[in-house]
Amino acid sequence: MLEDTDTVRNVIVCTLCSCYPYELLGNPPWWYKHDSYKQEIITSPKKKLKEMFKLTVPASVEVRVYDSTSDIRYMVLPRRPEGTEGMSEKQLGRLVTQESLIGVGDPQAPVDESK
């Protein structure tokens, strides 16, 4: 498990595409297997995250890209969204997305149910 922090964002890629954790995440997104995505997320991760996912990573944040293999599989523990203090583990789990677990997206923002 790779933990995102204030200074590090982790991204998972599988250059062989035989090691996506189907059991946990279901089918991989269509783009995950494309050679152009795999090459660009490795060589220019901040550019690719912004271009493809509208995710701007500040200059002060390092992006680390990890290549999963059949022997080593990674998953990202995303940063906790603001406004989630006091939420249960189950409630927090509902905010996690497939994209946030591979590092190309953030968890969903909590919904204010009082409105």
Q: Catalytic residue at 88?
A: no
Does the predicted model carry a pTM greater than 0.75? Answer: yes
**What is the percentage of the chain residues whose pLDDT exceeds 90?**
69
Residues contacting 31, CB < 8 A, separation 6+: 37, 52
Annotated active-site residue 114? The verdict is no
51-72 pLDDT tens trace: 999 999 999 999 999 998 878 8
Which listed residue (18, 36, 70, 114) is catalytic? Answer: 18
Q: Measured between alpha carbons, how far is 91 from 107 in angstroms, rounded to an integer?
A: 12
- C-alpha to C-alpha distance for 53 and 103, rounded to whole angstroms: 11
Whether residue 106 has pLDDT greater than 90: yes
Q: How many residues does the chain have?
A: 115
70 part of the active site = no
Bridge partners, residue 3, by sequence: 77
Is residue 19 part of the annotated active site? The answer reads: yes
What average pLDDT does the chain have? 91
Residue type, 75: M
In this prediction, residue 108 has a pLDDT band, given cuts at 50, 70 and 90, of very high
Distance CA 39, CA 42 (A): 5
**Mean predicted confidence (pLDDT) in 87-102:** 94
